[in-house]
Amino acid sequence: MSEVSYFTKEGLEKLKIELNDLRTRGRSEMAKAIQEARDKGDLSENAEYDAAKEAQGLLELKISKLETLMGNARLIDESQIDTSKVQALTRVQIKNLSNGATMQYTLVSEKEADLKSGRISVSSPIGKGLLGKKVGEIAEIQVPSGIVKFEVLEITI
């Protein structure tokens, strides 16, 4: 069974739009590309046709993965979020105890993660290390450069 993914309303809407776009415009464009390649003659020696068929297979695989993700997606009700501990959709302010730097992240699903906008995945090393922590607790997180200790300063929505 596939893993359940939790989404914000906006994240789930983006996923629906992407899937619909691939099903309609993506498939239509792929059919045109295959037809154009087919019109160029002998299919046994037509590299353009082979490439178009391979691209079609990749498109269908992507559609299938998005359909599975949508089937296992759960919408998070922000009004039901408990801010006493770090969990999906909470905004957490942390302090790196080795250099004193403070950072603020919102924990989101892997599909919604965007480090530039301060949204990290709950399945990332930092996200996993922070899950369940309360204000004042220290999270020891294994990162590529070693273990980093973060203190949880604040948890909000």
Domains of the chain: 5-75 (1.10.287.180), 78-156 (3.10.50.30)
| Residue owning tokens 């178009």 | 52
**Residue 55 clears pLDDT 80, i.e. is over it:** yes
pTM over 0.85? The answer is no
| pLDDT value of residue 59 | 94
**Residue 4 clears pLDDT 70, i.e. is over it:** yes
Express each pLDDT in 67-110 by its tens digit: 998 888 888 777 777 889 998 889 999 999 989 999 999 998 88
| pLDDT value of residue 154 | 94
Record the tokens describing residue 151, joined without a space: 């203190």
| pLDDT value of residue 1 | 45
Answer for the pair 16, 70: CB distance below 8 angstroms, yes or no.
yes
Greatest alpha-carbon pair distance for the chain in Å reads 70
Q: Which residues pair with 94 in a beta bridge?
A: 103, 152
User: What's the pLDDT band for 2 if we cut at 50, 70, 90?
Assistant: low
Return the DSSP state at 73.
E
Q: What share of the chain is helix, strand, coil (3-state, %, to 5)?
A: 45, 25, 30
Length of the chain: 157
**Residue 119 clears pLDDT 80, i.e. is over it:** yes
| pLDDT value of residue 138 | 94
| Residue 9 to residues 14, 28, 39, 77, Cα–Cα distance (Å) | 9, 28, 44, 9
Over the chain, what is the mean pLDDT?
88
Return the DSSP state at 114.
B
| pLDDT value of residue 80 | 76
